[in-house]
Amino acid sequence: MMNKKKRLLLLNGSPRKAKTSYVFARTMKELAEKKGHKAEIIHIIEYFDEEKHFEALKQVILPQDILGLVTPLYVDTLPYPVIWFLERIACDLTGELKGKEFFAVAQCGFPDTDLLHPLLESCGYFAKALEMKWLGGLGYGGGALIDGTPLEKLGRKGKKITSAFAFALDDIVEGKSISPRVQDQLTVKIPKILYRALAAFLNYRKKREAYSHGVSVADLTRKTYLENKV
């Protein structure tokens, strides 16, 4: 029996609108459309920065069958604009999202996807609090290495991620919880012995990026919690 065509709204949770979270959302949008479903992407940061009016968002969200959050990990949890966004939805659309389906895809710089579990659990709690159907979450470790590169340009790695998202969407559009096999396929397998070297490399990249935005060494090493309060 042919599946009912669904409408998906993908929420890009990254403050940087063209980086890895957007690449993941764009890939899922294209995969959904190839299966005959309708999908669109919105950038949460545009509502947080008031580039777009939050009040108009209701007309975007309510016709959707499925909402999907695609977001980076910031300081072990959701980025603040995403927290703000979900809290606004919870307050402004109380009762109106009941029965809709919700899933999340999270990515972080380090390869260990265990770091993403609290974030995904928070998304599950959000869905249940609003009486939405939680379809589960996926975690990808190593998003910083992708750094906004389209998956079709990443060779075998890009094909593997795209394939995992395709399997996930098969479950999502049928209203099923995402199969554990999808997470297995998405997990980057890196030998433990390489973790320290990879962590050093990723930390170096982040520090270099911070310096390029005017952050000093003193800023990075400052321990404000130990400073005397006036």
pLDDT tens string 175-201:
999 999 999 999 876 666 666 776 677
- What confidence tens digit (pLDDT) does each residue in 10-50 have? 999 999 999 999 999 999 999 999 999 999 999 999 999 99
Angstrom distance (rounded) from CA 58 to CA 89: 9
Using an 8 Å Cβ cutoff, are 69 and 85 in contact? Answer: no
> What pLDDT score does 110 carry?
82
Which residues, including other chains, have CB under 8 Å from residue 20's CB and lie 6 or more apart?
14, 72, 107, 143, 144, 146, 147, 148
Angstrom distance (rounded) from CA 88 to CA 92: 6
Q: Which of 196, 189, 209 is nearest to 147 (CA)?
A: 209
The sign of the CA dihedral 22, 23, 24, 25 is positive
Angstrom distance (rounded) from CA 114 to CA 134: 19
Which residues, including other chains, have CB under 8 Å from residue 216's CB and lie 6 or more apart?
none
